Amino acid sequence: MLGLMQDSPLLISGLIEFAARHHHDTEIVSRRVEGDLHRTTYAQVGARARQVANALDRLGLAFSDRVGTLAWNGYRHLELYYGVSGSGRVVHTINPRLSPEQVVWIANHAEDQVLCFDMSFLPIIKAAWSKCTTVKHWIALCDADALPADTGIPGLRSYEAWIGGESEQYAWPSFDERSAAALCYTSGTTGNPKGVLYSHRSTLLHAWGIALPDSLGISARDCVLPVVPMFHVNAWGLPYAAAMTGTKLVFPGAALDGKSVYELIEAEKVTMSAGVPTVWLMLLNHLKANDLQFSTMTRTVIGGSACPPAMIKSFRDDYDVTVLHAWGMTEMSPVGTVCKLKLKHLEMDPAAQLGVLIKQGRSVFGAEMKIVDPDGRELPWDGATSGDLLVRGPWIVSSYFKGEGGDPLVDGWFPTGDVATIDPDGFLQITDRSKDVIKSGGEWISSIDVENIAVAHPAVAMAACIAIAHPKWDERPMLVVVKKPGAELSREAMLAHFEGKLAKWQVPDDVVFVEAIPLGATGKMQKNKLREQFKDYRLPGA
Amino acid sequence: MLGLMQDSPLLISGLIEFAARHHHDTEIVSRRVEGDLHRTTYAQVGARARQVANALDRLGLAFSDRVGTLAWNGYRHLELYYGVSGSGRVVHTINPRLSPEQVVWIANHAEDQVLCFDMSFLPIIKAAWSKCTTVKHWIALCDADALPADTGIPGLRSYEAWIGGESEQYAWPSFDERSAAALCYTSGTTGNPKGVLYSHRSTLLHAWGIALPDSLGISARDCVLPVVPMFHVNAWGLPYAAAMTGTKLVFPGAALDGKSVYELIEAEKVTMSAGVPTVWLMLLNHLKANDLQFSTMTRTVIGGSACPPAMIKSFRDDYDVTVLHAWGMTEMSPVGTVCKLKLKHLEMDPAAQLGVLIKQGRSVFGAEMKIVDPDGRELPWDGATSGDLLVRGPWIVSSYFKGEGGDPLVDGWFPTGDVATIDPDGFLQITDRSKDVIKSGGEWISSIDVENIAVAHPAVAMAACIAIAHPKWDERPMLVVVKKPGAELSREAMLAHFEGKLAKWQVPDDVVFVEAIPLGATGKMQKNKLREQFKDYRLPGA
């Protein structure tokens, strides 16, 4: 017997209409590529999203057709999120840090019909357009008069000219909530990128999940600055959760350096931000160098890579900002866990609390998890036993777009590729990526543990620990270090720094200093490139 | 095209398994009918809910069969919530404040197969059992040795004996998330009670909605005491939302007087409570009489009836407790709006903020609303125009159990029977129940406005404003007042109290002092009974 509740599908159009009506004057502030600060409201974003929907109808786009974007965080990107998905099409966010060849490959694989791009990415589009075989319409996200005359891109139009004449009224269609809404490709380290196809249902359930007090906890009394890009897993879902909760949004555009981000936080009275550790490193360096403090920001979400404990401590002790350490994946919409203390932790001293806060946190309801041994047997939640981490739930991938890579699930669970422990209170700690773990003499060494200790050294700007082949131990750890500008650090001093912090056999066999560590399109260290670079390296004594 | 996300139905069993695993040692504290304080945990509630499910299987109950409960707020009731719904049956909560005849009518209409009751309701069951034609199994919520030998109720068993031998393992079934999960009858003032049949989907979406920071905002750092009964709209969804968020629960059982509630709040370090205004009146009186303060409670949810502004102010100014003024209905699972300030209100002075906080608040995403004129035309959100309030969304009723009362919807919207204004910021203010509004000479007088002013008088304990027939004006307001014990108050002093607070024509024509105002089964004033009592009353000058 079914319940007797209204059959209301969960649709993305419902989010923007809710925000436009209940939070009509709440601001959306964007630093534009043009350099200025632009101010709009949910009511206006709603009206312009409806113009986008009308413009797409006029282009004749069918239900589920893909509209690509190559854009920074900003109000026009937000309007596309809602206008494209709300009208039943699929918004396909492309990472502009990819090479033009990769952009072409992804746009063709997705069969994008329209491609909207920020003017700063015109060089990519100029290099790519003639090879994008499915794109029929090119839209530059700018005013009509900002459009260069001689781009060579056929039929190129400005966004403002494109939507300007359209009506602000639009009857959003109703359809199956499981319909495709957004597409994001993972920057896999091997093989071709794979597309994750989010649904309206998954997007709304995820928005509820991340807005909860024990997740990101956002409300109409917050002002959120997502540094995490809208081209990367929908800025962790914040553009959706913010509309659901009437939260003011501040978009940093392309200016992600410490000074720009800090000034925007202060000027707009930001209460929460979100991004990867590398961005916060730049911000903290700027604060330290200029002896600054935050006046309104109380918390920041850090994910994408494990956040070094030293950073969590510094945010808390030096700047009175709570780090919400989070973990997830593109395949998970992306949020799986967020680290928030429980009632029982509140009476602990700050040092003991830090021991909890450095973990990636506990499951948001909706993201179920387990750890297993190599035979798939479930492992205990004792905070010590580490195993392969698997997840399942309504906002977790079932398969990739067009079936790429086959069926990724194992008995209905998605293998994350992470190795982790879970403690009795459900706090997850990522030990390593399964491919980054160093297998030394039958024991596993966590590359993340080694890196966390390394970056706590005052002379170290960045550090990667990778496995080097070893005749006796199979693999041994080596540390690749980027020194801070002007800092002095010897191999011996670096190794001495590990004394007492790691078991002797876990300490790297060698240290190599480099100018830079390669970063991927989402800002993560590309350890596979380092492994390739050092594949013939001979460790001392090996 | 569908998205490629996992097909995970939203099921109530998922909530208790999540809590049992991620918040295994979080406490559930219950004051029992036996008088003692009982302590358990989510892990144990989960294990015993599985025992309930096995016991129901053993009884041969089919999918969607109804299991009635007649019980206070407590851990056994919570186990039934999860064991019954989780295993695919429907938990049917019956209001024990109804007469035995009404209980019989409802149990028969629902076709309850099992009826579980607290020992304090044994007299009702003794009077009712022989007329409950569908109930095959009677379960007393007590230990085996607490069961009287000679009840005359055939096959009566104690709950502990019933589940004691069952396994704590159970494979929760998976099924359509729209399946029926819980049934609650509205105490309609006219006609027979009507059953609202909640689904697993509506229950989980509502739980996400009410747990949000701008709704009740509960987390694993909270301790919540639901005074609102579990037999009334599932204690406003708190038993579900608490499991979703790992919140400690404190159940007051039958002891709802000010002293008992206060002592439990202090002893268990409660951070949030929830209930109807009449309960809080008792609590505030106790605090005032004994010069007490709260040490841990920071907020309390007040709904069920409009909360008098004086109570909101007293909680804030005298006790540093934020009232979360909420509005909803049995037909709405029940939460529709909660009053939380927005960013723009934070810089207002306390008096201006109070002007916002006395309203019933803004929509939780998922509960859409509109106000219309008598012809169904939508009215503006200007904070002044009042109209009939309609709602829609995934946790709002589509029809009543067995089709009672026909199709309640108007163009897909549920008419609430409330008259309200909505301001430009989306804040709802209930002006009146449409049947309580006083229609005087073509103008409407809000009975709630009159009552709010009346109860702000220090000598008034309770007040109801009702319409009395009038030869010239059609209807005129009359005030029915219960004085505080020992307080002095004359008719003239009461009427003088309205001067300058209402327009002259809105002031009641008369005041009648009574010993008590009849309260319904959910603690609301039964103004229909007063209207009946005073139906031949002659107003002065009429």
Within 8 A of B396 by CB-CB distance, chain A residues are 5-6
Give the nearest partner residue to B178 out of A3, A399, A409, using CB atoms.
A3
Q: Does A4 touch chain B (CB under 8 A)?
A: yes
Least confident range from A240-244, B71-75, B101-105: namely B101-105
Q: Beta strand B157-158 with A112-117: parallel, antiparallel or unpaired?
A: unpaired
Average pLDDT, chain A: 94
A241-253 pLDDT, tens digit per residue, is: 999 999 999 999 9
Q: Does B132 touch chain A (CB under 8 A)?
A: no
A32-88 pLDDT, tens digit per residue, is: 988 899 999 999 999 999 999 999 999 999 999 999 999 999 999 999 999 999 999
Per-residue pLDDT band at A190 (split at 50, 70, 90): low
Per-residue pLDDT band at B528 (split at 50, 70, 90): confident
pLDDT at A189 over 60: no
Per-residue pLDDT band at A274 (split at 50, 70, 90): very high
pLDDT at B522 over 80: no
Question: B residues 90-109 near A, CB within 8 Å?
Answer: 90
- Span B14-37, mean pLDDT? 96
Structure tokens at B172: 């929760």
pLDDT at B534 over 80: yes
Closest-CA residue of B relative to A403 is B4
Q: Is A212 in contact with B212 (Cβ distance < 8 A)?
A: yes
A279-300 pLDDT, tens digit per residue, is: 898 899 999 999 999 999 999 9
Q: Does B406 touch chain A (CB under 8 A)?
A: no
Structure tokens at B156: 């009566």
Q: Are A343 and B26 in contact (CB under 8 A)?
A: yes
Q: Is B217 in contact with A222 (Cβ distance < 8 A)?
A: no
Q: What are phi and psi of A357, to 5 degrees?
A: -70, -20
Of the residues A160, A177, A331, A451, only one is catalytic, namely A331
Within 8 A of B6 by CB-CB distance, chain A residues are 392-398, 409, 412, 414
DSSP-derived letter for residue A127 is: H
Q: Cβ–Cβ contacts within 10 Å for residue B181, how many?
A: 29
Per-residue pLDDT band at B188 (split at 50, 70, 90): low
pLDDT score of B449: 86
Taking the CA of residue B492 and the nearest CA in chain A, the distance in Å comes to: 44
pLDDT at B150 over 90: no
Q: Which of A298, A365, A413, A423 is the mutation pick for testing B, counting most B CBs within 10 A?
A: A365
Give start and end residues of each alpha helix (H) in B345-443: 350-357
Q: Give dist(CA B164, CA A497) in Å, integer.
A: 58
Q: Are A327 and A428 in contact (CB under 8 A)?
A: yes
pLDDT score of B437: 85
A132-158 pLDDT, tens digit per residue, is: 999 999 999 999 999 988 899 999 999
Closest-CA residue of B relative to A10 is B394
Per-residue pLDDT band at A269 (split at 50, 70, 90): very high
Q: Does A516 touch chain B (CB under 8 A)?
A: no
The CATH fold assigned to A12-205+235-242 is: Rossmann fold (3.40.50)
Higher pLDDT, A378 or B191: A378
pTM: 0.90
Taking the CA of residue B392 and the nearest CA in chain A, the distance in Å comes to: 7
Structure tokens at A334: 């992306």
Measured torsion, CA atoms of residues A353, A359, A362, A367, in degrees rounded to the nearest 10? 170
Q: Is B213 in contact with A223 (Cβ distance < 8 A)?
A: no
Least confident range from A41-50, A425-434, B164-173, B355-364: namely A425-434
Within 8 A of A211 by CB-CB distance, chain B residues are 212-213
Higher pLDDT, B266 or B305: B266
Strand partners, B326: B338
pLDDT at A383 over 90: yes
Strand partners, B31: B37
Q: Does A413 touch chain B (CB under 8 A)?
A: no
Domain residue extents for chain A: 12-205+235-242, 438-533
Per-residue pLDDT band at A98 (split at 50, 70, 90): confident
Percent of the residues in chain A that have a pLDDT greater than 90, as a whole number:
84
Q: What are phi and psi of A353, to 5 degrees?
A: -65, -35
User: Is residue A381 flagged as an active site residue?
Assistant: no
pLDDT score of B189: 54
Percent of the residues in chain B that have a pLDDT greater than 70, as a whole number:
99
Query: CB-based contacts of B120: which residues, under 8 Å, 6+ apart?
Result: B33, B72, B254
Collapsing DSSP to helix, strand or coil, B31 comes out as strand
Using CA atoms, how far residue B401 sits from B180, B182, B201, B203, B414, in Å, is: 11, 11, 17, 17, 15
Q: Is A18 in contact with B248 (Cβ distance < 8 A)?
A: no
- Span B509-523, mean pLDDT? 87
Taking the CA of residue A326 and the nearest CA in chain B, the distance in Å comes to: 16
Q: Are B215 and B363 in contact (CB under 8 A)?
A: no
pLDDT at B175 over 70: yes
Taking the domain A438-533, which CATH number applies?
A: 3.30.300.30
Q: Are A285 and A236 in contact (CB under 8 A)?
A: no
Taking the CA of residue A498 and the nearest CA in chain B, the distance in Å comes to: 34
Q: Does A368 touch chain B (CB under 8 A)?
A: yes
DSSP-derived letter for residue B113 is: S
pLDDT at A441 over 90: no
Q: Does A223 touch chain B (CB under 8 A)?
A: yes
pLDDT at B471 over 90: no
A168-179 pLDDT, tens digit per residue, is: 999 999 999 999
For chain A, report the end-to-end CA distance as a whole number of angstroms.
69
Q: Does B60 touch chain A (CB under 8 A)?
A: no
Q: Cβ–Cβ contacts within 10 Å for residue A144, how many?
A: 13
Q: Give dist(CA A452, CA A456) in Å, integer.
A: 6
B210-227 pLDDT, tens digit per residue, is: 999 999 999 999 999 999
pLDDT score of A472: 86
What is the enclosing helix (H) or strand (E) of B313? helix B309-319
Query: CB-based contacts of A541: which residues, under 8 Å, 6+ apart?
Result: A509
Give the nearest partner residue to A400 out of B1, B4, B198, using CB atoms.
B4
- Span A79-100, mean pLDDT? 95
Contacts A–B by Cβ distance under 8 A: 233
pLDDT score of A522: 67
Q: Does B351 touch chain A (CB under 8 A)?
A: no
Q: Helix count (H) and strand count (E) of chain B?
A: 16, 25
B420-431 pLDDT, tens digit per residue, is: 999 999 999 998
B401-442 pLDDT, tens digit per residue, is: 999 989 999 999 999 999 999 999 999 999 888 888 888 887
B298-336 pLDDT, tens digit per residue, is: 999 999 888 889 999 999 999 999 999 999 999 999 999
Give the DSSP letter string of A240-302. Answer: HHHHHHT-EEEE-TT--SHHHHHHHHHHTT--EEEE-HHHHHHHHHHHHHHT---SS--EEEE
Taking the CA of residue B534 and the nearest CA in chain A, the distance in Å comes to: 38
Packing angle of the helix pair A309-319, A277-290 (nearest 10 deg): 40
